[in-house]
Amino acid sequence: MNRIVINTDIEVGTISRHIYGHFSEHLGRCIYEGYWVGSDSAIPNTRGIRNDVVEALRRIRIPNLRWPGGCFADEYHWRDGIGPRASRPCMVHTHWGQVTENNHFGTHEFMDLCEQLGCEPYICGNVGSGSVQEMSQWVEYITFPGRSPMADLRRANGREQPWELTYWGVGNENWGCGGAMRPEHYADIYRRYAVYCRSYGQNKLFKVACGAPGPNYEWTDVLMREAGKRMNALALHYYCGSGAKSRSATEFDDEDWFEQLKRAVRMDELITRHATIMDVYDPDQKVAMFVDEWGTWHQVETGTNPGFLYQQNTLRDALAAAVTLDIFNKHCDRVTMANIAQTVNVLQAMILTDGEKMLLTPSYHVFDLYQVHHDAARLDMHARFEDYPFGEAAIPAISASASRDADRKVHLTLSNSNPNKGVEVSVDLRGGEFTAVTGRVLTGEAINAHNTFDAPETIQPAAFDGATLRRNMLTIAMPAKSVVGLEIV
Ligand code: AHR
């Protein structure tokens, strides 16, 4: 019943490593405490950035980091975040918690963080409350190599060489927190701002326009019609929310589990429909689709600031991540970047911190299992999967991706969303000779299995012995509620 055929000699695109990208906003304890502890902290750090978090993200080869927001981006004035920290002005973070932002983490600190992570920076500029000049000067400050007012200011602040910066967002959620604009208005505004975001010297900016919220297809239609020729990417946002009855990250039942996964699966429909509209205006697929905010969104943990979006992360979140990453892989012709929200201590985080303690979430482990797909060739795969039914509704029980890496190893990742039923999957590997399979599995006893600071390794990948290979036929015994990563040679 669950059968996959893979033509291992037929490549159907490249899975950009940027699909495995991240998003970190000045929100709650993501930047402050999550990354930034200051150089006089007792927590081991490099120039104020905590080493344990950097090391963990390097292990999953974080390819890019989007910053400073989110809604914060459209109220952020970058000149407040440069120069000696003690004299940087503070501001009220009006959107998330109305807390005071001291601007100790600014452009230099962010670029240093990206250098420490070994990832590409993706900066989102302020359209909602910032001027064209302000945005234009930020690009000049970061990337202009010669003498200029902004480049000289950068030098005065200790950075002689310009930074390399490719990804540049022209506003965030400008249909909402970024200015409550109509698509026609934002399309014109985008055109104006984008003109003044220059590519200086060898640096080539890749300009990203604000895309639709979930199923707002009109937004995509108007943006592509009015500004499609002036953008490199259009960035969709979709959060798959929480359960059916309970919004708790950790206390939920089978119905909540199913609802969460059903909402995650919806990403496929959203990408398909937005991409179809893009195809009308851009048949040669010159404009990429980014999904630069996605993930689960639960109630905050009891006793924490509701504006800080601090949530736990269970096996359910891991399954939602796996299903979504498979959808991005499938659409890798159009989707060339995605950024899960929000890396550390906010929403569907990879990492949670508590003072000097740090833990890796189940979602982190999915990014670990899936890193084999970074820049790999997507293989031609055809599949038939049984349903995972609940009441009147059903979603596919299995989701999968197959790719071949630069060393010609074939990788197959699979997830079984059904929390109550293990399933067998047979895979017909064509177009090559395969003799060995090894794998890892992520699963747990309970649907809400998660890691805590007292038990940080409750859920983590383990060696998988449920796959057997005989004459190019692979049989996989997928446990209930599991994610499996296989290497086939
Ligand atoms: O990620 C949290 C928020 O979700 C961001 O600030 C905003 O862009 C989106 O609505």
* Residue with CA at minimum distance from ligand 1 atom 7: 70
Residue 51: per-residue pLDDT: 98
* Residue with CA at minimum distance from ligand 1 atom 8: 70
Which regions in the chain score pLDDT beneath 50? none
Residue 262: per-residue pLDDT: 98
Q: Which two tokens stand for residue 442?
A: 């992520």
| Most ligand 1 atoms within 8 A of CB, residue of 67, 177, 238, 344 to mutate | 177
Residue 1: per-residue pLDDT: 83
Residue 97: per-residue pLDDT: 87
The atom of ligand 1 lying closest to the CA of 239 is 4
Residue 99: per-residue pLDDT: 93
Tell me how far the alpha carbon of residue 19 lies from the centroid of ligand 1, in angstroms: 18
Is residue 315 within 8 A of residue 362, CB to CB? The reply is yes
173 tagged catalytic: yes
392 tagged catalytic: no
* Residue with CA at minimum distance from ligand 1 atom 5: 70
Residue 300: per-residue pLDDT: 98
pTM of the predicted model as reported, rounded to 2 decimal places: 0.97
Residue 134: per-residue pLDDT: 98
The atom of ligand 1 lying closest to the CA of 73 is 6
Tell me how far the alpha carbon of residue 489 lies from the centroid of ligand 1, in angstroms: 42
The atom of ligand 1 lying closest to the CA of 72 is 6
